[in-house]
């Protein structure tokens, strides 16, 4: 069982547009490989059985109108995001302590992990290591990345971080991965997942359960260190490699990854007192993990006679992803005047997707993917 301590793992190389002190990407650079395919072709491939991690969606720079909406949403919600960051950081500090390694789940978790690291640094002079690693539904977490961190930081506690929850699929994959690490290596990991927003009620470490717009969800690689989604394919990733990702260096002039961090960090000192109070309250009265959002999804599945629940993507973050890189069928919203869905309405209009109100929806919105057949992302 202890053989993992000496198992060879390829050392990471510098990747991404963030300063190296903010995050280390435990990912293999596969930038030279052509993996992007058109959205329609990718959707058909996914639903015909090709795993989504074996190819990448084509990414495009946002239109001027859409980018202006991103900037406006960032200005409006920066303090709210900072409070959620602070609350989660305070929970991590209290529950895990100084001997903690921050482990963000690429990509949506990466900027959140950096913000949490910055908060703890600014407020408490705590300098925690931060890595960003791959986790893939249907394939699991990058075990080489876990072993690398555990070898490099013996005895440390790992804290997994993501941006938000939808149905809670990644939380379940994380739990399964931790169980597998215990079985295969005798390594006991805490499967709690820290997120800024938990509208799905899938975790007890969150900043809020409101389904609000985290502005980084609006964009793809240009707000995530210019990194692609993660890739796992046998012909590209060897037994000692990390999962793969592409670094879109050609978009450096359009990168706002560090700007996003810089827009939120100045609010930390102003929200710290409230964040501490919220964290203390949550520790004293632990929130229930009810998976409440899943009941909504099951009702939607019945209403719209959808055979595959994986084609239903709840929450602002997931609906944004549907519109950016899937083939959407329709968008459900809790109300048309919800300020958190303005970018959703803009994207839906641009792609000609029908939007309708679904009364009583737990989430702000929900994206339904056009069914072809088979499995989905």
The distance from CA 123 to its chain's CA centroid, rounded to whole angstroms, is 24
Task: Specify whether 182 is located in the same domain as 298.
Answer: no
**What confidence score (pLDDT) does residue 3 get?**
79
Question: Distance (Å, rounded) from C-alpha 262 to C-alpha 157?
Answer: 28
Domain presence at residue 376? no
Domain presence at residue 278? yes
Task: Specify whether 305 is located in the same domain as 231.
Answer: no
Task: Specify whether 118 is located in the same domain as 196.
Answer: yes
Task: Specify whether 133 is located in the same domain as 225.
Answer: yes
Question: Distance (Å, rounded) from C-alpha 59 to C-alpha 250?
Answer: 12
Task: Specify whether 173 is located in the same domain as 303.
Answer: no
Check the CA dihedral 87-187-173-107 and report its sign: positive
Q: Which of 266, 284, 302 is the last residue of a domain?
A: 284
Task: Specify whether 159 is located in the same domain as 303.
Answer: no
Range of the domain at 264: 2-284
Domain count, the chain: 2
Q: Which of 262, 284, 306 is the last residue of a domain?
A: 284
Q: Answer yes or no: pTM beyond 0.75.
A: yes
pLDDT tens digits in sequence order for the chain, 377 residues long: 677 888 888 889 999 999 999 999 999 999 999 999 988 888 889 888 889 899 998 888 888 888 988 899 999 999 999 999 999 999 999 999 999 999 999 999 999 999 999 999 999 999 999 999 999 988 999 999 999 999 999 999 999 999 999 889 899 999 999 999 999 999 999 999 999 999 999 999 999 999 998 999 889 999 999 999 999 999 999 999 999 999 999 999 999 999 999 999 999 999 999 999 999 999 999 999 999 888 889 999 999 999 899 999 999 989 998 998 899 999 999 999 999 999 999 999 999 999 999 999 989 999 999 987 644 45
Q: Which of 231, 265, 284 is the last residue of a domain?
A: 284
Task: Specify whether 223 is located in the same domain as 280.
Answer: yes
Task: Specify whether 355 is located in the same domain as 267.
Answer: no
Task: Specify whether 196 is located in the same domain as 308.
Answer: no
Task: Specify whether 243 is located in the same domain as 314.
Answer: no
Task: Specify whether 43 is located in the same domain as 147.
Answer: yes
């Amino acid at each position: 069982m202890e053989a993992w301590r000496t198992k060879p793992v390829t050392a990471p190389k510098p990747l991404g547009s963030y300063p190296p002190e903010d995050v280390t990407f435990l990912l293999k650079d596969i930038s030279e490989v052509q993996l992007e395919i058109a959205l329609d072709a990718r959707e058909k491939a996914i639903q015909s059985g090709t795993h989504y991690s074996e190819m990448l969606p084509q990414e495009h720079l946002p239109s001027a109108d859409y980018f202006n909406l991103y900037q406006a949403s960032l200005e409006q919600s920066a303090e709210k995001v900072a409070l959620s960051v602070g609350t989660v950081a305070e929970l991590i500090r209290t529950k895990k302590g100084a001997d903690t390694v921050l482990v963000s789940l690429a990509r949506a978790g990466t900027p959140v992990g950096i913000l949490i690291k910055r908060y703890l640094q600014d407020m408490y002079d705590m300098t925690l290591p931060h890595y960003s690693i791959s986790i893939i539904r249907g394939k699991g977490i990058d075990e080489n990345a876990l072993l690398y961190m555990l070898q490099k930081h013996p005895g440390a506690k790992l804290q997994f971080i993501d941006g938000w929850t939808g149905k809670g699929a990644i939380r379940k994959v994380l739990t399964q991965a931790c169980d597998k690490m215990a079985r295969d290596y005798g390594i006991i990991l805490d499967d709690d997942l820290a997120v800024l927003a938990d509208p799905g009620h899938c975790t007890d470490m969150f900043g809020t359960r409101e389904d609000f717009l985290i502005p980084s969800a609006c964009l793809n690689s240009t707000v995530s260190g210019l990194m692609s989604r993660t890739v796992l394919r046998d012909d590209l990733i060897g037994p000692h490699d990390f999962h793969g990702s592409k670094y879109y260096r050609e978009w450096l002039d359009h990168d706002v990854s560090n700007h996003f961090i810089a827009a939120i960090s100045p609010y930390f000192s102003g929200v710290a007192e409230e964040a501490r109070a919220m964290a203390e309250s949550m520790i004293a009265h632990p929130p229930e993990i009810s998976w409440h959002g899943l009941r909504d999804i099951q009702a939607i599945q019945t209403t719209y006679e959808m055979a595959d629940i994986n084609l239903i993507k709840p929450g602002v973050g997931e609906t944004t992803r549907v519109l950016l890189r899937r083939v959407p069928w329709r968008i459900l919203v809790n109300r048309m005047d919800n300020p958190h869905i303005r970018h959703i309405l803009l994207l839906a209009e641009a792609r000609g997707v029908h939007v309708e109100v679904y009364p009583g929806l737990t989430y702000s919105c929900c994206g339904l993917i056009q069914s072809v057949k088979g499995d989905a992302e």
